[in-house]
Amino acid sequence: MRDAVVVPIQQRALGEYRRRANELLLMSESILEAAKLGDWGLALTRQRQRSSEMASFFTVGESNISQEVAELIASCIRQMLATDAQVTDLAYSGRETLEREAGLAKQQGRAAKAYLGQSTP
Protein backbone atom coordinates (compact mmCIF):
# COMPACT_ATOMS: atom_id res chain seq x y z
CA MET A 1 0.00 0.00 0.00
CA ARG A 2 1.34 3.43 -0.93
CA ASP A 3 1.70 6.19 1.57
CA ALA A 4 -0.76 9.01 1.02
CA VAL A 5 0.75 12.36 0.20
CA VAL A 6 -0.62 15.05 2.45
CA VAL A 7 -0.76 18.49 0.86
CA PRO A 8 -1.22 21.37 3.29
CA ILE A 9 -4.33 23.48 2.71
CA GLN A 10 -2.18 26.55 1.95
CA GLN A 11 -0.45 24.68 -0.87
CA ARG A 12 -3.77 23.51 -2.27
CA ALA A 13 -5.03 27.08 -2.17
CA LEU A 14 -1.87 28.28 -3.91
CA GLY A 15 -2.28 25.59 -6.57
CA GLU A 16 -5.87 26.68 -7.21
CA TYR A 17 -4.85 30.34 -7.45
CA ARG A 18 -2.01 29.38 -9.82
CA ARG A 19 -4.34 27.32 -12.03
CA ARG A 20 -6.92 30.09 -12.26
CA ALA A 21 -4.27 32.77 -12.84
CA ASN A 22 -2.84 30.69 -15.70
CA GLU A 23 -6.33 30.39 -17.21
CA LEU A 24 -6.69 34.18 -17.11
CA LEU A 25 -3.30 34.62 -18.76
CA LEU A 26 -4.22 32.14 -21.49
CA MET A 27 -7.46 34.05 -22.06
CA SER A 28 -5.44 37.28 -22.33
CA GLU A 29 -3.15 35.68 -24.90
CA SER A 30 -6.16 34.48 -26.91
CA ILE A 31 -7.50 38.05 -26.94
CA LEU A 32 -4.15 39.26 -28.26
CA GLU A 33 -4.07 36.55 -30.94
CA ALA A 34 -7.56 37.50 -32.13
CA ALA A 35 -6.49 41.16 -32.24
CA LYS A 36 -3.39 40.29 -34.25
CA LEU A 37 -5.65 38.54 -36.76
CA GLY A 38 -7.86 41.62 -36.89
CA ASP A 39 -10.84 39.65 -35.56
CA TRP A 40 -12.11 42.30 -33.18
CA GLY A 41 -15.47 40.58 -32.69
CA LEU A 42 -13.71 37.48 -31.38
CA ALA A 43 -11.34 39.59 -29.29
CA LEU A 44 -14.29 41.37 -27.69
CA THR A 45 -16.11 38.08 -27.00
CA ARG A 46 -13.01 36.65 -25.36
CA GLN A 47 -12.46 39.85 -23.38
CA ARG A 48 -16.00 39.62 -22.01
CA GLN A 49 -15.43 35.99 -21.01
CA ARG A 50 -12.17 36.93 -19.33
CA SER A 51 -13.85 39.81 -17.55
CA SER A 52 -16.40 37.52 -15.91
CA GLU A 53 -13.63 35.05 -14.97
CA MET A 54 -11.61 37.91 -13.47
CA ALA A 55 -14.57 39.01 -11.38
CA SER A 56 -14.91 35.47 -10.08
CA PHE A 57 -11.17 35.06 -9.50
CA PHE A 58 -10.74 38.26 -7.56
CA THR A 59 -13.83 37.81 -5.40
CA VAL A 60 -12.94 34.24 -4.41
CA GLY A 61 -10.05 35.51 -2.34
CA GLU A 62 -9.85 35.11 1.35
CA SER A 63 -9.49 38.02 3.70
CA ASN A 64 -6.07 36.77 4.74
CA ILE A 65 -3.88 35.46 1.91
CA SER A 66 -0.28 34.36 1.98
CA GLN A 67 2.54 36.46 0.58
CA GLU A 68 3.05 33.81 -2.10
CA VAL A 69 -0.56 34.09 -3.28
CA ALA A 70 -0.38 37.89 -3.19
CA GLU A 71 2.76 37.82 -5.37
CA LEU A 72 1.10 35.39 -7.78
CA ILE A 73 -1.93 37.66 -8.13
CA ALA A 74 0.25 40.74 -8.61
CA SER A 75 2.29 38.97 -11.28
CA CYS A 76 -0.88 37.86 -13.07
CA ILE A 77 -2.23 41.42 -13.06
CA ARG A 78 1.06 42.81 -14.42
CA GLN A 79 1.11 40.24 -17.23
CA MET A 80 -2.52 40.86 -18.16
CA LEU A 81 -1.92 44.62 -18.25
CA ALA A 82 1.11 44.14 -20.51
CA THR A 83 -0.92 41.96 -22.87
CA ASP A 84 -3.82 44.41 -22.80
CA ALA A 85 -1.42 47.22 -23.72
CA GLN A 86 -0.43 45.27 -26.84
CA VAL A 87 -4.09 44.77 -27.73
CA THR A 88 -4.71 48.50 -27.26
CA ASP A 89 -1.76 49.32 -29.53
CA LEU A 90 -3.18 47.00 -32.19
CA ALA A 91 -6.62 48.60 -31.84
CA TYR A 92 -5.21 52.11 -32.33
CA SER A 93 -3.09 50.95 -35.25
CA GLY A 94 -6.08 49.22 -36.80
CA ARG A 95 -8.24 52.28 -36.32
CA GLU A 96 -5.69 54.47 -38.07
CA THR A 97 -5.49 51.99 -40.95
CA LEU A 98 -9.28 51.89 -41.26
CA GLU A 99 -9.46 55.70 -41.20
CA ARG A 100 -6.85 55.92 -43.97
CA GLU A 101 -8.67 53.30 -46.03
CA ALA A 102 -12.01 55.07 -45.53
CA GLY A 103 -10.45 58.38 -46.59
CA LEU A 104 -8.94 56.78 -49.67
CA ALA A 105 -12.27 55.14 -50.57
CA LYS A 106 -14.03 58.49 -50.19
CA GLN A 107 -11.42 60.19 -52.35
CA GLN A 108 -11.73 57.47 -54.99
CA GLY A 109 -15.50 57.83 -54.90
CA ARG A 110 -15.22 61.57 -55.54
CA ALA A 111 -12.78 60.94 -58.38
CA ALA A 112 -15.11 58.39 -59.95
CA LYS A 113 -18.05 60.77 -59.60
CA ALA A 114 -16.06 63.59 -61.21
CA TYR A 115 -14.91 61.31 -64.03
CA LEU A 116 -18.46 60.14 -64.68
CA GLY A 117 -19.68 63.73 -64.61
CA GLN A 118 -17.07 64.72 -67.21
CA SER A 119 -17.67 61.80 -69.53
CA THR A 120 -21.40 62.29 -70.01
CA PRO A 121 -22.41 64.35 -73.06
Q: Between residues 64 and 45, which one has the greater pLDDT?
A: 45
The SS3 assignment for 119 reads helix
Instruction: Supply the pLDDT for residue 61.
Output: 56
Instruction: List the domains of the chain with CATH numbers.
Output: 9-119 (1.20.58.380)
* Per-residue DSSP letter, 4: P
- What is the pLDDT of the chain when averaged over all its residues? 82
Select from 41, 38, 36, 80 the least CA-distant residue to 58: 80
Reply yes or no on whether the pLDDT at 58 is more than 90. no
Reply yes or no on whether the pLDDT at 98 is more than 70. no
Instruction: Supply the pLDDT for residue 3.
Output: 62
Contact 46, 30 (CB under 8 A): yes
Q: Between residues 28 and 67, which one has the greater pLDDT?
A: 28
Reply yes or no on whether the pLDDT at 62 is more than 80. no
Query: How far is CA 78 from each of CA 24, 71, 83, 116, rounded to the nearest angstrom?
Result: 12, 10, 9, 57
Instruction: Supply the pLDDT for residue 7.
Output: 46
21-37: pLDDT as tens digits = 999 999 999 999 999 99
Instruction: Supply the pLDDT for residue 47.
Output: 94
| Lowest mean pLDDT, pick from 31-35, 49-53, 60-64, 86-90 | 60-64
Reply yes or no on whether the pLDDT at 6 is more than 50. no
Which amino acid would we find at residue 47?
Q
Question: Which helix (H) or strand (E) segment is 16 a member of?
Answer: helix 9-36
